[in-house]
Structure 1
Amino acid sequence: MYLNCHSYYSLRFGTFSEIALLELAKENEVDCVALTDINNTSACLNFIRKAKEYKIKPIVGIDFRNDCQQLYVGIAKNNKGYKELNDFLSYHSHNKIEFPKKAPSFSNVFIIYPFKQIIETKKNNFLSNEFIGISIKELPKLKFSKYLQLENKLVTLQPVTFRTKKDFNAHRLLRAIDNNTLLSRLPEQQQACFSEKMIPNDDIKKQFIDFDFIIRNTENILNKCIISFEFSKNKPSLNQKTYTDNIQEDNALLKKLCKKGLPYRYKEPTKKVLDRLKKELALITKMNFVSYFLINWRIISYAQEKGYYYVGRGSGANSIVAYLLKITDVDPIELDLYFERFINSHRTSPPDFDIDFSWRDRQDITQFIFSEFDNVALLGAYVTFHYKGAVRELGKVFGLPKFEIDKLSEGNYDYNSLDHIHKLVIVYSQLIQGMPNYISIHASGILISEKALHEYAATDLPPKGFPTVQFDMIIAEDLGLYKFDILGQRGLAKIKEAIKIIEYNQPEKANFDIHDIDSFKKDPNINGLIREAKCLACFYVESPAMRMLLSKLKTDNYLGLVAASSIIRPGVAKSGMMREYILREHDVERRKNSHPIMLDLMKETYGIMVYQEDVIKVAHLFAKLTLDEADVLRRGMSGKFRSRKEFKEVQKKFIQNCRNEGYEEQLIFEIWDQVASFAGYAFPKGHSASYAVESYQSLFLKAYFPLEYLVATLNNGGGFYRPEIYLHEAKLLGAKILTPCINTSKYEHILINDCIYLGLNILRNLDHKTIELILSDRKQYGTFLSLDNFIDRVHISIDQISILIKIDAFSFTQKNKHELLWEAHFKLNDTPPNYHQPLLFKEKRTEYQLPKFNTSKLENAFEQIEAFGFPICGYYEIMTSKPMNQNRANQLKEYLNKKIDIYGYLIAMKNTKTSNGKRMAFGTFLDQFGDIFDTVLFPSVQEKYKLRHKGVYRIYGKVVEEFGFLSIEVIKIIKQDYIQDPRYS
């Protein structure tokens, strides 16, 4: 009887999930129910998938509305009707146009007009598939309506939006958030009626007892609707089935490409190589994954044609076929990559290929995929309400001032001391947490389907301009649609740009091959940087945590870096296995602690699970799960999948099989805890190996062309640290840092010999349009000769030119900046017109006699802080009191187990919690001589001093060492004051 039910995918309107709707239906003994979310089909597939478990017949449709006005409800008779609805919704969504008040003519869709809408539009003529929907509260009006005579056109339309009063309250808050208004001012027409609830099937029939024909008509519609999708474990893939339109031609092409790639990758292929290739090709063909490999090959072929750098990784990096096709640069034979992680006869899904491109090239790659293949869309993702966001939104809805909202969102309160309104914000924030707020785009996923994607869901057209399906990765995989991962990263752009700068700055040294990874692996200078953890700006190895790990491991080779890339992942550290790995790296005897089977499975990592495929090894060979079950375990370690029935069944079987093998209970649960704690975070070994390749490329550039590489780093968004840290590193390496200059600087930073000219884009308040005017004029007419010459040629406001003068962009004039500012104000007393044309005659300027001005270094420092966020001279120069001692980071070893008093400028910090939930922090600092050191603030210290913001601190603490890594356990830490801004004192 329910043809109009909403889940919380009726965004900022509905209040419970599609699963909760099924539970509600079962509770009310309703055996058939229609999910009709408002202008959305996100929940439809999972609703259909789960309905079988509840023994409920699923029906799906769409509640079409303009704003909150309900126009009609479309119910799909079958899969064709579902596609018709998705086509219609998507067309209007893409073109941002309202729905017509009259539904179009559908072939496989029932259209139900709400009674209220029929009365307003005075509709009299109905097609065979069109009906009038009557809710319980509208029955009294129907008795006196002319529409009562249309007996065969009347059906029940009892909306379902709420279960309880709490749902209704949450709904009103969501509507207020959606309308960006105070709850007290929320218009009634923007809310649903509290009567939109489900009642037992028999009860709804009693409500319509005087109109039994309405019940019959409704049941007739319910009986005629049948929708189904295949969700079984052995379902066929719905991805594009062939690359060449012919399976035999696909198979032949894949073999041909592998044959062509063999001599490039292996000059003399061994029997091991050829056997592995034969085995892979046979399985790839058998599992119908050939087109998946060929599509990935086509994508990277296009990238090669365009000269784009890329890195192929993921479980597919375990494949020799991928290596021969140049999808990846990881040799699975050299690294002994576990074949079954990449593919096995039980696996129904193709291997993962994550292909990284430069962030500058990714858009073009995406555009190519959409133009090259049919039935393409980006994968959707849901942005849900989290604690902070929910509190902020509800705080505004309840009319709280910003400072109170900030306090609540930071969790800086005692609940018992809060007033009624504040408590309501906290209580209802908990209720809406986890609800979807809006549909977004998956970080990298692209779907390439055999059939039109509207057969599965509607699509949106977000600002990026590519159609995006209204469901996420989990549902896509349930359906049999497997994504192609196309990512953008800045590391590749840094490498590419660094090479361009080298070619310009040092052409005589630019004859190296950045892809010659084998020689990089053997280079003592590069391996020395890894061993000493001097990897600032280098891809994936520059963070404080990675620096600490490399220092402790004393890693100085490629395989060690591959392991470190996975060990650093959150789960390995959380399980305690990172520490255990370090201990076993240094202590041969300790390696014997591992269970013999575990040691045999993971010899290279001393019996410790480090890589994602280790989960499969342990599950399959230790716990005797099938490879299929082992893969369920691997996939289930993160996200929604962990709570699924399939995962819980495999978990039980893992434990039972171990008991059957006779393992001790303590060992069983110890190993299970290791698996459960990190499998969702760990990398596949091939993935780590791909990252390590890129790390070696960036380390090569850092070792031999550090200034070029650091400029490229800055021009591509930096890295883990703030831009000032990379400029500081460049200074230590001999660079001279110069503020932007209107005659030399470009949009981005440039390197000329050993001088880094900061780019005009670093100036926070300088308009992009102003920068374009300066650069285009300079390109056309040459360098600027004076301030007057600049004013004559570039139409600029006094505010914009003041920014340039204050930052010394006119230093070539040899005039003091204060004098230039006076001149600019005299000559630009009005904002200039917004057109630009060369002057035929130079305007005569009045010369003014000005007093002599002076500018101090301190004044320049504060101008730089204002202009781009930091002083080039560093913050130590502007402290109120100069440091009271000269202690430095490279003296820490002399203070081992002793107290030290040292100054540090905070460059990175990480907040974390102890096992009992108390806050602690790790801080990374630059000493006054430019060297880095690390600190630990245990809970009592962090609670007392609350290390938070960047600045210079005086630190007193004890120097400790672990595996050769020195740090300071802070006892006292005090932020130092800066002098008063001399421009205003």
Structure 2
Amino acid sequence: LAALARAGDARLARAARAAGRLLGLPRQLGTHPGGIVLGDGPLGRLVPLERAPRGLLVTQFDMRGIERIGLVKIDLLGNRALALVREARRRIEESAGAAGAAVRELAGAAAAARAGSPAGAAAAARAGSPAGAAAEGRARESPAPGGGCSRTAALLASGRTLGCFQLESPAMRALLRQLRPHDLEGVIAAIALIRPGPASSGMKLAYIRRAHGEEPIAALHPRVEEVLASTLGVPLYEEDIIRMAAAAAGMSLAEADMLRRAVIEAARRARGAPSGGGAARALAALAAGFQEAARRNGIDAAAAERLWGEIVRFSAYAFCKAHAAGYGAIAYRTAWLKARHPGPFFAALLNHQRGMYPTRVYVDEARRHGLALRPPCLRAGEAGWTWEPEGGGGRGALRCGLGAVRGLRASTIAAWREARAGRPFGDLADFARRVPASAPELEALVLCGAGDEAFGVPRGELLWQLQRLTGRPGAGRRGAPRSAKEEGTGPPGRAARQASLALEAPPARARPGRHAWRSVAPAHRARLERRLLGFSLALHPVALLAPERRAGLPSIAAALARAGAEARGRCWTLVGIVSAARRIRDRAGRPLVFATLEDESGLLECVFAEPLPEGAEAVAVDAFLEVRGRIEAPRGAPSLRVERGRLLGAH
């Protein structure tokens, strides 16, 4: 716009000047997704209101206008991680039974005993029983804010935090490996450090070095040294910016907060605006005022300018510490649950969390954490994922719910629950009589394994029974079943189904050819589950690749272990499936591709840098890739710098 305004064409210059006045203005109206306005009386008397397109009552002032007239705006946001924590803890208590009740009693006893009440003494005496002693041991495991847990610390330091709130992105997992936090405060700091301000200014690396004693803690000026002592001299939070401004310029905290807000507003308007515009002048005036106040407070001009630069850079991105602490508390609890109670954690995660990875990634992560994976079950299963403490090599098993079966209607699941509550199903024919499931739904249930344990019959045998019941030849050789609508007919009524299906299973001796159905190979079962559930319970997707694709190649975990012990610079060839992918351009405009590669053993971050190597265009979630490159591990956070890639197929 500035160039057009200086152009020789008068019309272009006028248009550029007119367009410049639009910069910084709202593009359109919208409703804040979680902003709630509070006043000391009916809002209609305090601020103009209107109806949003969907009928919701909203203020005509935006959030800045609301604050300027003295009303309170708070953001109320839903968070699936809260439901995850609640469900996981409920499952832990249910599995503990009496011990779980003892844990709660012990907690109440400790609080009451500290208050010196008779009830506290009696409860403490009960807690001294063997059951109380067991409960006390469990109580020590509770994720107390600020407390440390060796298992949780090890999990955080390893970066194995898939599924943990705020801790599962590739960048955060790399930061955790570098920082190695061991308690809640460390997690809170990590959540603040990952923000663009510290990350782009070099302060993130400085904080990591200082946390490990590799660099002296130094602030920009002695005046702000004390206010930044708790964050190792690095401004992480909004409160740090406020205290820095107050200490440097001799302001009150309220005045410093107003300065911070003004800086954010002026910087926001200045971005993209022509130099010398009103927003830029406002920011320059704020800078001059701060630096003059700092000089009057005994700070030299160069230091005042450096402090102002830090305030401007961090104001736009800094977290309010209460925000970071709130997120950190939830994040630490999810990490604690994953480290100490993986079964309840993964069951709750798969029921509630919709993170940045496909569901299959969390299923495979549960497998890596030693949990057995079981298919849906018409006898013991539920609609959602459940944790079964028995079996599974000591850690129990995760049972996939019927709700994960593609093409299975909610009404069919409800009818199944109602019928099962009356009495168990005797066999597949009994199930078909009592539950109004369509033929495609019956096929989906059998193929995904929902009848294996329920009827005590191998899946291959059930496929033969299904073919006799439904008259659908070729069952088991199809992909995911089509819905009733796609089949061209609605769900059949009970009478129609009983008339059309041969519901009586034939005698065992009258089943010609059933030997051909008796077993289902694990690879075939995995492919069926992948089509019907979206993931495989039998095998990791990479295990389905042809053996020659992986012949002589190490797993990701083996390559990482050997890369740390062998000479640096060696090239590695690895095969895996892409679990996450991102394309960006760096500050110089050069393209970069980031991919998370996964196999049965673990995950590895891959970087395709300019010039983009062969195969970079094939990077996409669920693509099978063969990559060749060098493993780099700055401060213990490994990644593969890819030199060549090749697409092997798609999941």
Q: 1:519 to 1:682 in 2, by over 3 A?
A: closer
Distance in structure 2 (CA, Å) of the matches to 1:806 and 1:522: 46
Choose from 76, 85, 103 the match for 1:486.
76
Contact 1:595 1:607 in 2 (8 A): no
2:43 match: 453
Query: 1:711 aligned to 2:347?
Result: yes
Query: 1:702 aligned to 2:317?
Result: no
Choose from 550, 554, 558 the match for 1:886.
554
2:623 match: 951
1:973 match: 645
1:851 match: 513
Q: 1:587 to 1:858 in 2, by over 3 A?
A: same
1:876 match: 542
Query: 1:796 aligned to 2:464?
Result: no
1:477 match: 67
Aligned-pair CA distance for 1:662: 7.1
Contact 2:470 2:502 in 1 (8 A): no
Aligned-pair CA distance for 1:562: 2.5
2:370 match: 734
Q: 1:433 to 1:447 in 2, by over 3 A?
A: closer
Q: Which amino acid aligns with 1:728?
A: D
Distance in structure 1 (CA, Å) of the matches to 2:406 and 2:266: 41
Secondary structure of 1:803's partner? helix
For structure 2, list consecutive stretches of 5 or more residues without a partner in the other structure: 1-13, 104-137, 270-278, 390-395, 473-483
Contact 2:613 2:642 in 1 (8 A): no
Aligned-pair CA distance for 1:708: 0.9
Distance in structure 2 (CA, Å) of the matches to 1:626 and 1:807: 66
Q: 1:950 to 1:541 in 2, by over 3 A?
A: same
2:468 match: 823
Mapping for residues 373-772 of structure 1, pairs under 5 Å: 435-436=27-28, 439-440=30-31, 442-455=32-45, 456-460=47-51, 467-507=57-97, 510=100, 511=103, 512=138, 517-518=143-144, 521-592=147-218, 594-636=220-262, 638=264, 642-643=268-269, 649-658=285-294, 667-753=303-389, 754-772=396-414
Choose from 589, 607, 629 the match for 1:917.
589
| Alpha-carbon displacement from aligned partner over 1:746-778 (angstroms, at most 9, x marks no partner) | 111111222211111212322222222222222
Aligned-pair CA distance for 1:804: 1.8
Q: Which amino acid aligns with 1:886?
A: P
Contact 1:904 1:954 in 2 (8 A): yes
1:180 match: none
Aligned-pair CA distance for 1:502: 1.6
Contact 2:197 2:313 in 1 (8 A): yes
Contact 2:614 2:646 in 1 (8 A): no
Distance in structure 1 (CA, Å) of the matches to 2:299 and 2:495: 82
Secondary structure of 2:601's partner? coil
Q: Which amino acid aligns with 2:449?
A: D
Q: Which amino acid aligns with 2:174?
A: M
Aligned-pair CA distance for 1:431: 11
Contact 1:632 1:647 in 2 (8 A): no
Aligned-pair CA distance for 1:607: 1.9
Aligned-pair CA distance for 1:493: 1.0
1:906 match: 578
Give aligned-pair identity as a percent: 24
Aligned-pair CA distance for 1:586: 3.5
Distance in structure 1 (CA, Å) of the matches to 2:614 and 2:305: 35
Aligned-pair CA distance for 1:844: 6.5
| Alpha-carbon displacement from aligned partner over 1:856-878 (angstroms, at most 9, x marks no partner) | 33332222222222223111122
Aligned-pair CA distance for 1:496: 0.8
Q: Which amino acid aligns with 1:443?
A: P
Q: Which amino acid aligns with 1:704?
A: R
Distance in structure 2 (CA, Å) of the matches to 1:729 and 1:582: 28
Q: 1:461 to 1:661 in 2, by over 3 A?
A: closer
Distance in structure 1 (CA, Å) of the matches to 2:344 and 2:235: 39
Quote the RMSD (CA, aligned, Å).
3.7
Contact 1:954 1:974 in 2 (8 A): yes
Contact 1:566 1:683 in 2 (8 A): yes
Q: 1:435 to 1:503 in 2, by over 3 A?
A: same
For structure 1, list consecutive stretches of 5 or more residues without a partner in the other structure: 1-163, 167-426, 980-985
Q: 1:691 to 1:832 in 2, by over 3 A?
A: closer
2:7 match: none
| Alpha-carbon displacement from aligned partner over 1:521-578 (angstroms, at most 9, x marks no partner) | 1332222322333333223223322221121123223332222221112222122221
| Alpha-carbon displacement from aligned partner over 1:761-820 (angstroms, at most 9, x marks no partner) | 2123222222222222222x2222222212211122223222222222222442525424
Q: 1:869 to 1:846 in 2, by over 3 A?
A: closer
Query: 1:961 aligned to 2:551?
Result: no
Contact 1:502 1:509 in 2 (8 A): no
Distance in structure 2 (CA, Å) of the matches to 1:570 and 1:844: 64
Choose from 411, 416, 420 the match for 1:774.
416
1:248 match: none
Distance in structure 2 (CA, Å) of the matches to 1:919 and 1:589: 33
Distance in structure 2 (CA, Å) of the matches to 1:666 and 1:165: 41
Q: Which amino acid aligns with 1:823?
A: R
Secondary structure of 1:977's partner? strand
Aligned-pair CA distance for 1:711: 0.7
1:938 match: 609
Q: 1:493 to 1:655 in 2, by over 3 A?
A: same
Distance in structure 1 (CA, Å) of the matches to 2:398 and 2:331: 24
What is the aligned length? 547
Distance in structure 1 (CA, Å) of the matches to 2:182 and 2:246: 33
TM-score by length of 2: 0.74
Aligned-pair CA distance for 1:735: 1.8
Distance in structure 2 (CA, Å) of the matches to 1:670 and 1:439: 38
Aligned-pair CA distance for 1:905: 2.6
2:531 match: 866
Contact 1:549 1:564 in 2 (8 A): yes
Mapping for residues 239-250 of structure 1, pairs under 5 Å: none
Q: Which amino acid aligns with 2:429?
A: D
| Alpha-carbon displacement from aligned partner over 1:843-890 (angstroms, at most 9, x marks no partner) | 974858553334433332222222222223111122133413124233
